[in-house]
Amino acid sequence: MKKVIPTLVAFITGIIVLADFLIYNPLLDQVSNSLLNWALLVAAFAFIVGLLNVLIVHFTRIIKRERGWPYSIVLVLAMWLVIIFGVLDPRGPQGPIVSWVFRYVQYPLQATLFAMLAFFALSAGYRAFRRQTVDATIMLVAASLVFLGQAMLISEWGKWFAAIKDWILSVPTVAGMRGILLGVSLGVIATGLRLLLGMDKPYAD
């Protein structure tokens, strides 16, 4: 019984949402929407677990003086400051303090970190091509052609490179992408069906 009920709940919920996607029916729509709202609530509660995890992990680090523990102090303090100001402000997360934190801390930090991606892409690409395999060579050639097609610097030849680039992007790439996406969606469908049918109950018992 302990195992039947979760499976049954998963099955019925899944069937309702699936049917709602395929069939237009007002009642089904309503039930399905409520279920999705419940899912939101559950997800929100999961955030409390996340909060507790952060607190426990970082308090442990501070108490045990683990490597990098001062950063844990900064983290916990910053977290509470943002939470407190966010809650105290009548406009919530859109209040001036949280907005300030977003604009002058989060935004530049994230953008800067992301900019490092360009460098990492370069070093990863460099390493990949140093493997000197057939696939790496194909990748290098294709990448060169696409880059040249986008470069917009050489106006006379530009249209030829652009044509090649368009062909690469619209024929082999899209076909390959479709293959990957279809393969992935097969995996997704399989996972969904397996969960739906209770063939495996990975996190339900």
Partner 1 sequence: MDLAMDLSQKVGLALALVFLLLLYASRLEVKARGSPPLRPLRALESLRRALNRAIESGKPVHVSIGTGSIGERDTAESMAGLAVLGYVEEQGSYYRTPVLSTFATPSTLVAAYDARRKATEAGGTPPPGRIYFLAPQKIAYAAGASEVIKDEEAQVNVMIGSFGYEYLLLGEMTEHRGIEHIGGTTDPRVLPFVYASSENYLLGEEIFAANAYLSSNPGALASLLAQDRMRTLLAVLIVVGMILKSLGVIGG
Partner 2 sequence: MIYCPICGTANRDGSKFCNECGARLVPQEGVHEKGHTKCPMCGALNPESNEVCSQCGARLKPLVSIPPEELPLEGPAPFIKEAGEVKPEEEDFLARLRETVGEEGPPEAEEVFSPATPEEARQVPVFPEEIIKEIPEEEIPDILASLRAKVREEEALFAEEEEEAPPEEMPRVEIPSWVTGEERPPEEKAEAAPEEAPEEEKPEVKAPPEKPPEVEVFRWPEEEEKPAFAEEEIFKELPAWEEIKPEAEMPPEEELPEWLKEAEEVKPPEEAPPPAEWLKEVELPWLEEEKGVEAPVMAEIPPWLEALRPLEEVPPAAPPRRPIEEAEKEEEGILAGLKGVLKAQGAVAIPERPAFSEVAEVPIKKDLLQSFLKLAYTRSSPPSIKVPSRRRGRRRYWLLYLVLFLAALVPLVVKWPPMPVGSPPSPPEVRDFFEVVEGLPSHSPVLVAFDYEPYMAGEMEAVARPVLTHLKNRGCKVAVISLVPTGPALAQGIWDEIAGSYSYGEDFVNLGYVPGREAGLRALASGLGEAVKYEYVEGKPLDSFPLMQGINKASDWRLVVILAGEPSTILWWIEQVGSLPGVRLAAAVSAGLKPYVMPYYQSGQLEGVIAGVPEAAHYEDLLGSPSYVTSFAPAQALAVLIALLVILAGNLFGGGG
Q: Note the residues at the interface with partner 1 (CB under 8 A).
A: 21-25, 39, 43, 46-50, 53-54, 57, 66-68, 71, 106, 109-110, 113-114, 116-117, 120-121, 123-125, 127-128, 131, 135, 139, 171-172, 175-184, 186-194, 199-200, 202-203
If the CB atoms of residues 51 and 73 are measured against partner 2, the closer one turns out to be 51
Query: Which range binds partner 2 by CB under 8 A, 52-60, 77-85, 117-125, 191-199?
Result: 117-125
Contacted by 72, from partner 2, partner 1, none: CB < 5 to 8 Å by type: none
DSSP secondary-structure letter at 81? H
C-alpha pair distances (Å), 70 with each of 23, 59, 113, 170, 191: 56, 11, 21, 51, 42
Q: Exposed/middle/buried for 162, CB within 10 Å: 0-12, 13-18, 19+?
A: middle
Q: Of residues 56, 159, 188, 190, which one binds partner 2 by CB under 8 A?
A: 159
Q: How far apart are CA 165 and CA 43, in angstroms?
A: 43
**Residue 60 engages partner 2 in binding (rule: CB under 8 A):** no
Q: How far apart are CA 168 and CA 177, in angstroms?
A: 12
Query: Which range binds partner 2 by CB under 8 A, 4-12, 56-64, 65-73, 137-145?
Result: 137-145
Contact status, residue 89 vs residue 97, Cβ threshold 8 Å: yes
Contact status, residue 129 vs residue 136, Cβ threshold 8 Å: yes
If the CB atoms of residues 1 and 67 are measured against partner 1, the closer one turns out to be 67
Q: How far is the CB of 153 from partner 2 (least distance, A)?
A: 6
Contact status, residue 166 vs residue 149, Cβ threshold 8 Å: yes
If the CB atoms of residues 77 and 199 are measured against partner 2, the closer one turns out to be 199
